[in-house]
Amino acid sequence: MEQPLLSEKRSETEESERLRSYQYVGRTGSVIPTTSLAGAEVSIKEIRSATSFSGHYPPSIHAPFINSPEPLPNEEAILHQGPYTTDYGTYSNDFRRQLLDEVEIRELLIDHVGHRCCWGSRPARTWKIHAVEDCNVYVGTLETFLEERELVSETEPYHGGNIDGKDKGPELGLWDLDLRSQFPALYVPYKETRVKILRSETVEKCSGCAGRGDIACPTCNADQEPGFYKQNQMSRCPACYGRGLIAHRDGSDTICTNCDGKGKIPCATCGSRGLLQCKTCHGSGSLSTLKIAIIKW
């Protein structure tokens, strides 16, 4: 006949010495009480209610599942289900899973308690083990997969041609875009896609040059009103100081080669045109504005 793991025929001295040996078993750094406390047996409901406050099990107890013989009649025990009855410390013939003995079971319990700051180790050291329930444990990870859509406007010079505007139909909304062809595999770390919003293109006059394509030169026409400029603005030659001649120490003069004797030189910025090409529209005078959807997974 199969017997419980802890025989009640042991003497109290042997029981006390055995329990005292478990006081020093545990994870390094865990605080294990050094006093041997003999506790009374508890019910199965109390055991299971105590484990309901546990979080994820640490990797240290992800050990092979265990089995046990059935307990003696009239004793509180956790009955196992299935045809895996065998001896502790051996292997089951069905799945070749290792079965743990009583010492290993208590070591695992004490190690698990050592990961919890407010748990006591007395149940793991003092409770009587009558049987072990063989069960499956699943440790899962909850992950989320999000899709974020953002709408931005991009502007570029417009040099003519057809535009995809609202005259060709209603503009699609941000979440009306069909992106099934762009959808990545689930749980990728990151992916970003840019998609043009159909029928969202518009053409507007360039605000930098008021649609003229050119702006007044800031060097030779800095004092002019917006939209007005003067051509052929000249500046004094810095080499001859406007004389057109270069004086030498022997009292002679030579024609200034920088201004060809004119004493003035054209504007170095615009060549005395008085105008510069608008950098915003590249001289076209118009801008095309398009809405772009940025999708992030």
132-185 pLDDT, tens digit per residue, is 777 777 878 777 778 899 999 988 899 888 888 888 888 888 888 888 888 888
Output the furthest CA–CA distance in the chain (Å, rounded): 134
Candidates 33, 22, 48; CA nearest to 102 is 22
Number of other residues whose CB lies within 10 A of the CB of residue 54 = 12
Query: What pLDDT digit, counting tens, does each position of 258-275 carry?
Result: 888 888 888 888 888 888
Give the per-residue pLDDT at 124. Answer: 84
- Name the amino acid, one letter, at 231: Q
pLDDT block averages, 10 residues each, the chain of length 297: 44 52 42 42 55 44 42 42 44 56 85 84 84 78 84 89 84 86 81 89 88 86 78 86 86 88 87 87 89 91
Q: What is the C-alpha separation between 263 and 237, in angstroms, rounded?
A: 5
Q: How far is 165 from 176, CA to CA, in rounded Å?
A: 17
Name the DSSP class of 76. Answer: -
Q: Which residues pair with 152 in a beta bridge?
A: 292
pTM of whole model > 0.75? no
How big is the chain, counted in residues?
297
